[in-house]
Copies of this chain bind each other. A is one copy, B any other.
Amino acid sequence: MKIAVADLQSLVEQVLARHGVASARAPLLAATIVAAERDGSRSHGLQRLAGYVSSLSSGWVDGAAEPVVHEAGPGLLKVDARNGFAQVALAEAAPRLRAMADRQGSAIMTTADGHHFAALWPDIEPLAVDGYIALTMVNTRASMVVWQGTHKVLGTNPMAFACPRRSRPPVVWDQASSVMSQGDVLLASAARRPLPEGVGVDGDGQATTDPDAVLRDGALVPFGGVKGGSLAFMIEVLATLGGARFGFEDRSATIPGAVTSNAGQFLLLIDPRRFGDSFLDRIEQLIEQLREAGTGRLPGDLRYERRRIAERDGLELSPEMHDYLLTASIASTRR
Residues of A within 8 A of B (CB): 72-76, 78, 103-108, 110, 133, 135, 145-153, 161, 163, 171, 173, 175, 179, 223-228, 230-231, 233-234, 236-238, 240-243, 246, 248, 268, 270-272, 274-276, 278-279, 282-283, 285-286, 289-290, 292-296, 298-299
Could you tell me if B296 and A148 are in contact, using CB atoms closer than 8 angstroms?
yes
A323 to chain B, nearest CB (A): 36
Could you tell me if A106 and B105 are in contact, using CB atoms closer than 8 angstroms?
no
Could you tell me if A274 and B224 are in contact, using CB atoms closer than 8 angstroms?
no
Could you tell me if A152 and B293 are in contact, using CB atoms closer than 8 angstroms?
yes
Could you tell me if A76 and B274 are in contact, using CB atoms closer than 8 angstroms?
yes
Q: How many copies does the complex hold?
A: 2
In the complex, which residue of chain B has the Cβ closest to the Cβ of A161?
A: B234
Could you tell me if A151 and B292 are in contact, using CB atoms closer than 8 angstroms?
yes
Note all chain B residues with C-beta closer than 8 A to A75: 74-75, 104-107
Could you tell me if B285 and A133 are in contact, using CB atoms closer than 8 angstroms?
no
How far, in angstroms, from A274 to B241 measured CA to CA in the complex?
A: 9
Given contacts A223-B223, A236-B286, contact A275 B241 (CB under 8 A): yes
A132 to chain B, nearest CB (A): 12
A-side binding surface: helix, strand, loop or mixed? mixed
Task: State the 9 A-B residue pairs at the shortest beta-carbon distance, nearest first.
Answer: A73-B105, A223-B224, A76-B105, A149-B293, A224-B224, A151-B293, A149-B294, A75-B104, A173-B230
Given contacts A106-B106, A237-B283, A241-B270, contact A150 B293 (CB under 8 A): yes
Could you tell me if A175 and B290 are in contact, using CB atoms closer than 8 angstroms?
no
A206 to chain B, nearest CB (A): 14
How far, in angstroms, from A313 to B234 measured CA to CA in the complex?
A: 34
Given contacts A73-B105, A104-B73, A237-B286, contact A275 B145 (CB under 8 A): no
Pull 17 A–B residue pairs with CB atoms less than 8 Å apart, ordered by A.
A73-B106, A73-B271, A74-B105, A75-B105, A75-B106, A76-B106, A78-B275, A105-B108, A133-B241, A146-B290, A148-B294, A149-B293, A151-B292, A153-B286, A163-B233, A173-B230, A175-B230
